[in-house]
Structure 1
Amino acid sequence: MLLKRLSEAVGVSGCENEVRNIIREEIKDYVDEIRTDALGNLIVYKKGNKDKPKLMLAAHMDEIGLMISDITEDGLLSFKPVGGIDKRILVSKRVLVGKKKIKGVIGAKAIHLQKPDERKKPLDYKELYIDIGSKSKEESEKLINLGDMATFDTKYKEIGSNIAKGKAFDDRIGCLSLIRILKEDYDFPLYGVFTVQEEVGTRGAKVASWDINPDLALVLEGTTAADLPDAKEEGYSTVLGDGPALTIMDGSTIVDKRILNKLIEICEKKELKYQFRRFTKAGTDAGAIHLSREGIPTAIISVPCRYIHSPVSLVNLDDYKTATKLVHNFCQEIERGGFSNEKIN
């Protein structure tokens, strides 16, 4: 299953090769052009009527992770976070380190040895380490290099009522939607961009949008779902099973109202479930894209993801399917002339 392969692939920011190779192989026979730019973005192009708007669809390949920063004399690995990680969830998690995917476990001082005040706060990164079973620094250095990345060792599985469990659904679920769309044919210029380094500052999207300079853009994302018993409803952000989430504003952009209204119109007409994303602090690739050149009208379609930025996340596969249908219908609207080619006046 493609989502399983994408989820289990290693793609910490700056090391997206494995994910990129899976996607390239999957879409190479469906696009007219395919290339990788200097930063690592995978950019594909499908030809179409040049009198119609040029659309850029973007989904990021990278995931949060850890970077090895030191190897102690007894062979343990010190590390730093790559992207936003909750320190509270790190202890005892299984990880894969480096290109050889060396298995390890994140360890810390046993709770029996901790002082009372230590038990009341999350352990700092300097108090954590990755144990790969080595007896010495020399033994670890034969397997690990400083700067190697580590990712969570999580297997994909479908559970419950059409729920998928796995890592990196932010944003491998968006990548999957984009792959599905690229296998369709539309009569307008379409760029699909699988971006790099979103989790550390939307870096890939910045250079790709400047290069392509589209007339409009859609970002396909995974987003926070905090629909849990200890959270008030207004703090849920999104809810699993209520359809894809449309953003009005977040920490990096106010989305283009013309695109947003068209997405809502499509959902209402096609009877597609949708919801609004209610959490506004975080940002996405849209923050970089909409500021490129003289400005690019941009909107965001997200799949709710429970326990995001953790070793194990959950998504509702119906939300993903509906999000993909929404993007497909939006593309058909462009094909029918639903937007002009003048920055969607």
Structure 2
Amino acid sequence: MDEKLQMLKALTDAKGIPGNEAEPRKVMEQYIKPFADNDGVTTDHLGSLIAKKTGKENGPKIMVAGHLDEVGFMITHIDDKGFLRFQTVGGWWSQVMLAQRVTIVTSKGDVTGVIGSKPPHVLSPEARKKPVEIKDMFIDVGATSKEEAESFGIRPGDQAVPYFEFTVMDNEDMLLAKAWDNRIGCAIAIDVLRELKGKDHPNVVYGVGTIQEEVGLRGAKTSAHYIQPDIGFGVDVGIAGDTPGTSEQDRHGTLGKGPQIVLYDASMISHKGLRDLVVKTAEDNDIPFQYESMPGGGTDSGNIHVTANGVPSLSITVPTRYIHSHAAILHRKDYEHAVELIVKVIEALDKDTVHRLTYGD
């Protein structure tokens, strides 16, 4: 496994739902720190990681943000028989949850569990036709009582994280893992700083790992207030529409065809001038790309762009299959092309270009 794959494995293996991002933050810091300025890695007061890389002092401030958190669950109650009730944290579709393995992170260490429900064998024929509601699910950790579950270290408030091993598939460009949403964005932020190491660039770049994106883009708000960027990029996963059953109308993203330039999502309308610059940069450098619109979702750019007096912002995403589940698939070259594209754009964002984008002259 090469160095990049080792980084991706470390990032996706890390356990961190919203409000519990310490473990992925530690991994991201380990990988991004060598490419940041001396003493250039810090956090805001909620825990978003901020790594600074200076090209030109007093140049425009460019923010490249991926989010550290992943969708998961929070334990809310332990019943008398030792079964755990939970709250989803982030968006979940009930049909992908049952019989899936989870890891409960406790003060005594990790505890393995599985999501269960009432057996279908005892349900009426009509009930069997309906998906099980999340409120009727529980986590089974093999305990026989509340006291035994508590002896494992489990307490209400503990996070439960999907379990899945990072896997390079037989097509070695296809990478299967949990938490691509959005550890791939964190990897892109790391690699952008890596590629800029030792290069001249006319600005100051901030590689950011935000917290609590899945529950309201919260870390994007606090970290953007900390940085006060002139230009913002949210880097995240996008929807892949290349699986069976997806209509041509809904087929926006295809694995292996390049990163997606987001035109619109529920949290923002992309800045037209910045979008035009990114598209031209991709075309001039023969970097493949796709367009994406996501009327039902948002990215960190949604909060970055309304910081202070406003920040010209754009989201760039990596098309990914099966997000918000235990395992998702993306294409390595889409990730690498996203890094290449963002670096090329950053190299073009001098003071005059940023002024023109901001004020239209």
Q: Which residue of 2 aligns with 1:176?
A: 187
Q: How far apart are residue 341 of structure 1 and its match?
A: 7.8
Give the drift of 1:292. Answer: 1.0
Deviation digits for residues 90-121 of structure 1 (CA, Å, limit 9, x no counterpart): 11000000242211111111121121222222
| Structure 2 counterpart of 1:123 | 132
- Answer with 97-106 or 256-265: which moved more: 97-106
**Alignment check: 8 A CA contact 2:257 2:334 kept:** yes
**What amino acid does structure 1 have at the position aligned with 2:251?**
Y
For residues 61-140 of structure 1, what are the structure 2 equivalents within 5 Å?
61-99=68-106, 100-140=109-149
Q: Deviations over 1:1-56 (max 9, x none)?
A: 11011111101111010000011111222212111221010011122324532111
Percent identity, aligned pairs only, is: 35
**Corresponding residue for 1:151?**
161
**Cα distance between partner residues in 2 of 1:301 and 1:138:** 48
**1:125 to partner: Cα distance:** 2.2
Q: Does 1:46 align with 2:53?
A: yes
Q: 1:238, 1:278 within 8 Å by CA — same for their partners in 2?
A: no
For residue 86 of structure 2, give the secondary structure of its aligned residue in structure 1.
strand
Assess if the C-alpha contact under 8 Å between 1:244 and 1:322 holds in 2.
Answer: yes
> In 2, Cα distance between the equivalents of 1:286 and 1:65?
22
Cα deviation for residue 342 of structure 1 reads 7.7
2:248, 2:233 → 1: CA distance?
28
User: Structure 2 CA distance, aligned partners of 1:63 and 1:342?
Assistant: 33
Give the Å deviation of 1:188.
1.5
Q: Relative to structure 2, which stretch is displaced further, 28-37 or 195-204?
A: 28-37
Structure 2: runs of 5+ lacking an equivalent: 1-5
Shift of 1:338: 4.2
- Shift in Å, 1:152: 0.7
Question: 1:155-174 CA distances to partner (integer Å, 9 max, x unpaired)?
Answer: 01011431000111011111
Corresponding position of 1:293 = 308
Q: Pick closer, same or farther for the CA change 1:115–1:226 going to 2, 3 Å.
A: farther
Is 1:279 aligned to 2:286, yes or no?
no
Query: 1:208 Cα deviation (Å)?
Result: 1.1
Distance, in Å, in 2 between the alignment partners of 1:37 and 1:52 is: 22
Kindly indicate whether the alpha-carbon contact (under 8 Å) linking 1:154 and 1:312 is maintained by their aligned counterparts in 2: yes
Partners of 1:180 and 1:305 in 2: CA distance: 19
Of the three residues 35, 49, 60, the one matched with 1:30 is: 35
Amino acid at match of 1:167: K
**Displacement of 1:126:** 2.6
Contact 2:186 2:208 in 1 (8 A): no
- SS in structure 1 of the partner of residue 16 of structure 2: coil
Q: Residue 177 of structure 2 aligns with which residue?
A: 166
- SS, match of residue 249 in structure 1: strand
Where structure 1 has 5 or more consecutive residues not aligned to the other structure, the ranges are: none
Q: 3-state SS of the aligned residue for 2:160?
A: strand
* In structure 1, C-alpha distance between the alignment counterparts of 2:7 and 2:318, rounded to whole Å: 17
Match of 2:3 in 1: none
Taking the aligned partners of 1:25 and 1:12, their CA distance within structure 2 comes to: 19
Is the deviation greater in 184-193 or in 235-244? Answer: 184-193
Counterpart residue type for residue 315 of structure 1: L
Report the AA paired with residue 131 of structure 2.
P
Structure 1 vs Structure 2 CA RMSD: 1.5
TM-score (norm 1): 0.96
Matched residue SS, 1:75: coil
Partner of 2:228: 213
Alpha-carbon separation, structure 1, partners of 2:241 and 2:102: 25
Kindly indicate whether residue 264 of structure 2 is the aligned counterpart of residue 249 of structure 1: yes
**Per-residue Cα deviation, 1:114-134 (whole angstroms, up to 9, x for no partner):** 212222222122311111111
2:218 corresponds, among 185, 200, 203, to: 203
Aligned twin of 1:323: 338
Q: Does structure 2 conserve the Cα–Cα contact (< 8 Å) formed by 1:53 and 1:341?
A: no
- The total of aligned residue pairs comes to 345
Deviation for aligned residue 1:237: 3.4
Query: Structure 1 residue 279: deviation in Å?
Result: 3.0
* Amino acid paired to 1:76: F
1:244·1:303 contact (CA, 8 Å) conserved in 2?
yes
Per-residue deviation, 1:187: 3.9
TM-score, normalised to structure 2, is 0.92
- Return 260-269 or 334-343, whichever deviates more: 334-343
C-alpha separation in 1, matches of 2:84 and 2:206: 41
How much has 1:255 moved relative to structure 2?
A: 0.6
